[in-house]
Amino acid sequence: MTFGKNKSWQAAELKPVGSRLKNALFSNWCVTWTSPQNPVYNYQAYTASQYFLFGGRLRSLRLSDLYDYSTFISTIVLHVASLPLYIIFEAKYTWTHISPAIIFIFCYLWCLSAVCFVRAAFQDPGLLPRNIHLVDNVVRNGLPIEYFNNPIVDGPKSKVELKYCTTCYIWRPVRSSHCSSCNACIMNMDHHCPFLANCVGQRNYWHFLCFLTFIVLLCALVCAQTAYRISQQNIADTPMTLFLLIYAALCVMFPASLLFTHLCFGLTGITTREYLTTDKVDGHFFLKDVCLNPFNSGNLFANWLRQWLRPRGLSTLPLRQRFSTTDTRFQEYVIGSLT
């Protein structure tokens, strides 16, 4: 076997946008889509599957075409549109006939949900660095056969497998998984969410749950307030109120069902990915197999607290630090066959 190395950060140069100032502010800071010839910061060398905004402070998944962004863009449009629609068509009636507090609560919930969405969609979900566990002379000898076996280690309640990722070339921590969409291993990966265009993992799971919670509360508030107005007025005189009622009722369905699903998962200490990969053994009740997962503490309340209060932890891939050409975490290795 041969073990080739491809420095992906040298694969593309930033095209000049005009003046050097524009190039520095827009292409290298505001939006970083391709890697410059000589990266200064780590995020500039990590553009194979991501693009970065505002000097690496925000990031998102690089998708193949605009159609792949449709779900992500739809989520943003539906959320952003709710604020002006409510303020234009409902704020005046609510202020004078119900209570100004309803408007402040709506705006507060909208802002909280927006912040949680940005944190969940545009920040690090728990990326693990690449090429950490490579042996000496790997270019000549390839990976040892032991790396393709899954050793058994002690888990919280029972034995669990430790797996080696042959894409990232690292031993993955327990409950971590490789995401083919993000092309990276994610700590405590729950699932890849197309509505966020990001994985949900160790460092953004809490923001994901909060986003769902605030969206459900926001839609419930709009449904209750618009239903009250329709009951007090002729429906023919308030067509936009009826529209907002239907709008909120439709928008709340999927987040509410998703939130309920995750709350159920939290009670058993299982993630979405673990639930989907649980073996359905003939002759066994499936729920029993879920509840017997090695990360279930046996206490529903303790599992629920761990789901909501689990610490985010520090980032294992500091993308805003200065880049070093000897840093192998940002190089891509490709294993091929001898010909």
Cβ–Cβ < 8 Å for 60, 51: yes
> Distance of CA 16 to CAs 9, 10, 47, 79, 195, Å?
17, 16, 18, 35, 33
Tokens at 284, concatenated:
């066994």
Specify whether 223 is catalytic. Answer: no
Where does the chain show beta strands of DSSP type E?
Answer: 2-6, 31-32, 50-53, 58-61, 152-154, 159-161, 164-165, 170-171, 177-179, 184-186, 191-193, 198-200, 332-336
What gap in Å lies between CA 28 and CA 244, rounded to an integer?
41
What gap in Å lies between CA 267 and CA 299, rounded to an integer?
8
Cβ–Cβ < 8 Å for 186, 202: yes
Which of 116, 165, 185, 193 is an active site residue? 193
Q: Within the chain, what is the greatest distance between any pair of CA atoms?
A: 80
What gap in Å lies between CA 144 and CA 150, rounded to an integer?
13
What gap in Å lies between CA 216 and CA 254, rounded to an integer?
9
Q: Which of 333, 329, 339 is CA-nearest to residue 142?
A: 333
List residues with catalytic annotation: 193
